[in-house]
């Protein structure tokens, strides 16, 4: 059976060039970067070189990149590292974030507001009718106790690109710490942390054809934040524990490749996504597009198929060897509507009838045409069954 992977926003296949690097540092250059002997120094060189490559992509300083186990840890650290500093002094904290943030940010904010309701309040901004968090909504939500704003760069479900530069400019002028989750945008959308006035930025390797289990948090030099882990000197004492050198070296290689190929690869991916939409919309009459395709990231297409259960469509496509994701998230044994789609105004029924297609580096036009044909067939068959 022909297998087609259209879930690249969930994770990506490791690029062969990256896999070679990971293998090399697992089997040949396997030393501990903290060791004084040549094996360790070889690993230390890889660590330093990787940090330099990763920082270069976003115009950051090498001492501003702190490696983590992935995007979730980086997001968690950004929130708790700032909030905990104020809690230490029993000071009230107001956080501004969005209603469609990744759970790593959203749930962390909820946790702290439940843990310290007398000190911590959170404003969850709703996206506008274009699916964007406007800078104006951030400005309007600010109070005297606002200490942190966290707004994602590219939304992982609908692909809309927020104007984080304008948000960052406002936050810098008002001395509010600004964090952005760039897990879906790092090496896919141009980022300059200095020009965009970003204080904290999270990214992950496995979204850019690198290995799983590694990410980073960018922390601007002048930002005070609590360490994420204790018990060693690694990562300048901010995130201790033996560094994952194979993962970090692979991440750096993946970042370098993706950044170098961005200008060619993103237009190619966008063309494939647009072709997929063109073919599906020609064969299915009543679909709803859940984003602005002209202004969003070119790799994500989120569609609602009214009258069709998203889970049923996903399973039908999976039987054809096609991997996609739904607009629903399974939680405690029941299907709940996507928080993202609910935030942009979709009903529970519409959200549960939605599919996210995310195109990536290894997809071809032939795959897109095959997948579109199977989507059309499956939708028609499921509608007939429902009727």
CA 98, 101, 103, 104: dihedral to nearest 10 degrees? Answer: -100
Tens of pLDDT, residues 284-327? 999 999 999 999 999 999 999 999 999 999 999 999 999 999 96
- Contact partners, residue 144, CB within 8 Å, separation at least 6: none
Q: Which of 315, 330, 385, 386 is catalytic?
A: 330
- Are the beta carbons of 235 and 62 closer than 8 angstroms? no
pLDDT (0 to 100) of residue 89: 86
In the predicted structure, residue 228 carries a pLDDT above the cut 60: yes
Domain shared by 211 and 316, yes or no: no
Indicate if 223 and 347 belong to the same structural domain.
no
Q: State mean pLDDT over 125-138.
A: 95
Average pLDDT estimate for 52-78: 98
Shared domain for 244 and 279, answered yes or no, is no
Q: Average pLDDT, stretch 376-383?
A: 96
Q: Quick one: pLDDT at residue 334?
A: 56
Are 25 and 139 within one domain? Answer: yes
* pLDDT confidence tier of residue 236, bands split at 50, 70 and 90: confident
30, 147: one domain: yes
More confident residue, 387 or 339: 339
Mean pLDDT of the chain: 95
pLDDT(331) > 80: no
Strand residue runs (E) in the chain: 4-5, 65-68, 93-98, 120-125, 146-150, 177-181, 200-204, 215-219, 288-289, 300-304, 322-323, 325-326, 328-331, 334-337, 354-358
Encode pLDDT of 173-213 as tens digits.
999 999 999 999 999 999 999 999 999 999 999 999 999 99
Strands 354-358 and 300-304, by their bridges, are antiparallel
Enter the DSSP assignment of 63.
G
Lowest mean per-residue pLDDT among 44-48, 87-91, 109-113, 230-234: 87-91
Q: Which of 257, 277, 301 is the last residue of a domain?
A: 257
Owner of token pair 């997001």 = 75
One domain for residues 203 and 315? no
pLDDT in tens, 341-360: 999 999 999 999 999 999 99
Where helices occur in 191-323 by DSSP H, the ranges are 245-283, 310-319
Give the chain's domain count: 2
Place of tokens 């469609």: 100
Query: Percent of the chain at pLDDT above 70?
Result: 98
CA gap 153, 181 in Å, rounded: 6
302 and 226: one domain?
A: no
For residue range 6-63, what is the model confidence (pLDDT) as tens digits?
999 999 999 999 999 999 999 999 998 888 999 999 999 999 999 999 999 999 999 9
Dihedral sign for Cα atoms in the order 185, 339, 111, 176 = positive
Q: Of 241, 257, 273, at which residue does a domain stop?
A: 257
Secondary structure class of 48 (helix, strand, coil): helix
The residue from 227, 257, 287 where one domain ends is 257
Domain of residue 300, residue span: 4-12+262-386
Q: Report the CATH number at residue 350.
A: 3.90.1150.10
Q: Is the pLDDT of residue 333 over 60?
A: no
DSSP 275-288: HHHHHHHHH-SS-E
| pLDDT at position 332 | 39
Q: What is the percentage of the chain residues whose pLDDT exceeds 90?
A: 91
The answer on 73 and 147 residing in a single domain is yes
Q: Report pLDDT for 336.
A: 82
Q: Tell me which residue of 359, 344, 365, 372 sits closest to 298, measured CA to CA.
A: 359
Over residues 115-125, mean pLDDT: 96
- What is the reported pLDDT for 323? 98
Same domain, 232 and 344: no
In terms of Cα–Cα distance, which of 43, 73, 41, 68 is closest to 54? 68
Which CATH number belongs to the domain containing residue 36 in this structure?
A: 3.40.640.10
Q: What is the DSSP letter of 327?
A: S
CB-based contact 296:361 (threshold 8 Å): no
Do 118 and 229 reside in the same domain of the chain?
yes
- Is 171 designated active site? no
Same domain for 102 and 169, yes or no, is yes
Q: Taking the model in full, what pTM does it have?
A: 0.96
Residue 330 has pLDDT above 50, yes or no: no
Region 141-145: what's the mean pLDDT? 98
Task: Report d(CA 78, CA 122) in Å as an integer.
Answer: 15
Does position 257 have pLDDT exceeding 90, yes or no?
yes
pLDDT at 154: 98
Structure tokens at 36: 């004084």
pLDDT given at position 358 = 98
d(Cα 309, Cα 311) in Å, to the nearest integer? 5
Q: Are residues 220 and 232 both part of a single domain? A: yes
């Amino acid at each position: 059976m022909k297998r087609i992977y259209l879930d690249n926003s969930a994770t990506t296949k490791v690029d062969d060039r990256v896999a070679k690097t990971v293998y090399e540092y697992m089997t040949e250059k396997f030393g501990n970067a903290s060791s004084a002997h040549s094996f360790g120094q070889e690993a230390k060189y890889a660590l330093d070189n990787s940090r330099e490559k990763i920082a270069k992509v976003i115009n950051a300083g090498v001492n501003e990149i702190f490696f983590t186990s992935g995007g979730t840890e980086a997001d968690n650290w950004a929130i708790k590292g700032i909030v905990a500093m104020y809690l230490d002094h029993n000071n009230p904290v107001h956080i501004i974030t969005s209603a469609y943030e990744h759970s790593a940010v959203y749930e962390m904010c909820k946790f702290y507001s439940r843990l310290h309701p007398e000190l911590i309040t959170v404003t969850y901004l709703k996206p506008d009718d274009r699916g964007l968090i406007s800078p104006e909504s951030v400005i309007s939500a600010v109070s005297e106790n606002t200490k942190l704003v966290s707004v994602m760069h590219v939304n992982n479900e609908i692909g809309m690109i927020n104007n984080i530069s304008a948000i960052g400019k406002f936050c810098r002028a008002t001395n509010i710490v600004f964090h952005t989750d760039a897990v879906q945008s790092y090496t896919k959308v141009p980022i300059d942390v200095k020009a965009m006035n970003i204080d904290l930025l999270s990214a992950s390797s496995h979204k850019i054809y690198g290995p799983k289990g590694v990410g980073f948090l960018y922390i601007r030099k002048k930002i005070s934040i609590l360490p994420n882990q204790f018990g060693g000197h690694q990562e300048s004492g901010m995130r201790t524990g033996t560094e994952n050198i194979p993962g970090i070296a692979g991440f750096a290689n993946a970042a370098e490749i993706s950044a170098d190929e961005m200008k060619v690869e993103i237009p190619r991916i966008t063309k494939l996504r647009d072709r997929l939409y063109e073919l599906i919309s020609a064969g299915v009459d009543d679909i709803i597009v859940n984003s602005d395709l002209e202004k969003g990231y070119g790799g994500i297409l989120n569609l609602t198929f009214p009258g069709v259960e998203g889970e049923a469509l996903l399973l039908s496509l999976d039987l054809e060897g096609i991997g996609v994701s739904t607009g629903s998230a399974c939680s405690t044994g029941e299907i709940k509507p996507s928080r993202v789609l609910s935030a942009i105004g979709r009903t529970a029924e519409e959200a549960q009838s939605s599919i996210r297609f995310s195109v990536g580096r290894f997809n071809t036009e032939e795959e897109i045409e095959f997948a579109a044909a199977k989507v059309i067939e499956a939708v028609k068959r499921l509608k007939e069954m429902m009727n």
